[in-house]
Amino acid sequence: MKRLYRDLFPWLKLLLRRRQRFLVGALLAWVTLLAGLSLLGLSGWFIVSCALAGIALTAGLPSSLDVYVPGGGIRFFALLRTIARYVERLYNHNTVLTLLADLRYRVFGDLTRLDDASLKQRRASEWLSRLTADIDNLDNLYLRLLIPPVAALLTILMVSAFIAIWLPVVGAVVAVVLTLLWAVVTLGYGWLGFANSYQQVSDQEELRRLVLDQVQASAELLSYQTSIWHRQKVQQHEAKALGNQRRLAMKSAVGNAFVSAVTGLLLLATLWIGSFALSSGQVSGPILVMAVIAVLGINEVLGLLPAAFLKLGSSYAAAQRLNALKVNDSAWDIAELPGGAGGHAIQLDNVDYCYPGAIHPALVNLQVMLPAQKRAVISGVSGAGKSTLASLIMGRVAPTQGAISVAEVSPLHISPESRAEHFALLTQQTDLFDGTLEANLRIAKPDAAEEELWQVLSMVALESWVKQQPKQLLTHVGEKGQQLSGGQARRVALARLMLRNPTVVLLDEPFAGVDADTARHLAGALDRWLGCRTAIFLLHQVDDVTLLPGVEYRWRLDGGRLFTDTTVES
């Protein structure tokens, strides 16, 4: 129990930051339940009272009944129940969406703090699962595990107190029995279904992975004649997951049956005890019927709790998986890079890097000293380690050995805000979102004036093309920029980078996918834009030195080692 609380506490704390919304939502749920029970009880009292009054009149006995007050009460509770249910659903679903946004913001923030090595250990689909399926399981905490049991317990106490006004013994029995039943269907069923629902999270993720493999690797599976074997593996895991779901469904059905059985027995007990009070004249028939119907309505209050608490294990499993994303903040948020227009010196001292599980290191004994406001080019074939070196300088991974410093500060100890302000990296992978060209550019600078957008588009030789489009800056680029050519997409990414004002710039193949004239245009624009910034060009090979004006340092990566490149002359 202590471990359960420890792992769920960060997420409960995050949810309870909006405790005012939680309390209002619980109050609305409670009012809805009370209105329903009041409507049911008052209707039963009114029907019995009318029946007794009719029988008395038929028998010639004097009888009177005020139909207006209870009739108005029935209409009031019917209207209150309808309005309260609508407002409760609207309010609580809005709260849930708000909490989901908080949770996703928190998890996405944790993902951004993971280094590249950690991110590459899992597939993109698995990280997406963290942002969707795991957070949806945590959503169960608020919508099913916090509000309903609180509202149910308050309703039990209120109904018991109401019945005790006329039937104290019945009220006491109802309070004790229903409180024990509440404990069983919450704490008891949370324990009963914990293992199954915990396993369900792993089953769903594994099944999702196997199905994606079946689709994405279908060509390879067919080539190696293993598609039938893999399909059988999917079916076996599906059968296992289905069996676990059946067990959960069976426990849920047993829980509902148990609630119905207990409330049914309590109903009989209420009738039995109340009959003695009725025969002794302590209570009237309509009051007894009202108490019986109120007990009958409790079944609706408790009926949803067993299925909800059977999913406690899945919420706990999701919390554990998301807790594993949390990094130690003490290693971050330590230093801020100095401001100013100038660049910062970059130094690597005996730096080695080896990927987890790899036999040979990717980088070996790197010695680099690039003074501030200078430019360098590092060339090397694919797999030589250029992207790894860029990740080290950006602070995205920690060196296995040695030290890296930017302005005499380790990139790992620079706050994320300062790194985002001072560092800029153009990667070979272009990330554009399904939106307009303007929206993709404003990611770098949301308050950029329209003139600035046109200026950077001119710098990357896209201004004339954009002006030819019917919607110009409002042209949609498509998902992942698929409406653009590869070269255009990279130039949009470069233009987005130029909207910022970094002091350290790393450009990985900035001239890829463009013709010679466009490459020369980009080289001139980069020469002007880089100015006093510290810059490193990462290239497969240097084919044209005129594309690298201002470059004073030339190195070559080969086999993870860095050498001075003497094959290129200025």
Residue 332 has a pLDDT of 47
Give the sign of the dihedral formed by CA 423, CA 424, CA 429, CA 435: positive
Helices 450-459 and 516-530: crossing angle in degrees, nearest 10, is 130
- List the one residue out of 348, 203, 180 whose CA is nearest residue 266: 180
Task: Please identify every stretch of the chain with a pLDDT value under 70, giving residue numbers as ranges.
Answer: 1, 5, 115-118, 120-125, 326-343, 481, 565-570
Per the prediction, the chain carries an average pLDDT of 81
Q: Where are the domains of the chain?
A: 8-327, 346-564
Residue 282 has a pLDDT of 83
pTM to 2 decimal places? 0.66
Contact 310, 252 (CB under 8 A): yes
pLDDT per position as a tens digit, 142-185: 777 778 888 888 888 888 998 888 888 988 999 999 999 999 98
Task: Indicate the CATH number of 346-564 among 3.40.50.920, 3.40.50.300, 3.40.50.20, 3.30.420.130.
Answer: 3.40.50.300
- List the one residue out of 205, 315, 197 whose CA is nearest residue 251: 197
Residue 340 has a pLDDT of 56
Residue 149 has a pLDDT of 87
Give the strands of the sheet with 401-406, arranged side by side.
Answer: 363-370, 346-353, 401-406
**Alpha helices in 426-515, H assignment, sequence order:** 437-442, 450-459, 463-468, 486-498
3-state secondary structure of 405: strand
The dihedrals phi and psi of 435, each to the nearest 5 degrees, come to -160, -165
Extract the runs of DSSP E, i.e. beta strands, from 407-525: 423-426, 504-508
The pairing of beta strand 504-508 with beta strand 423-426: parallel
Distance CA 301, CA 317 (A): 27
Output the CA angle 284-30-138, nearest 5 degrees. Answer: 145
Contact 345, 407 (CB under 8 A): yes
The hierarchical CATH code for the domain 8-327 is 1.20.1560.10
- List the one residue out of 244, 261, 364, 366 whose CA is nearest residue 314: 244
pLDDT per position as a tens digit, 216-271: 788 888 888 888 888 888 889 889 989 988 998 899 899 889 998 998 899 899 88
The pairing of beta strand 504-508 with beta strand 375-379: unpaired
Q: How many CB atoms lie within 10 A of CB 253?
A: 12
Contact 444, 420 (CB under 8 A): no
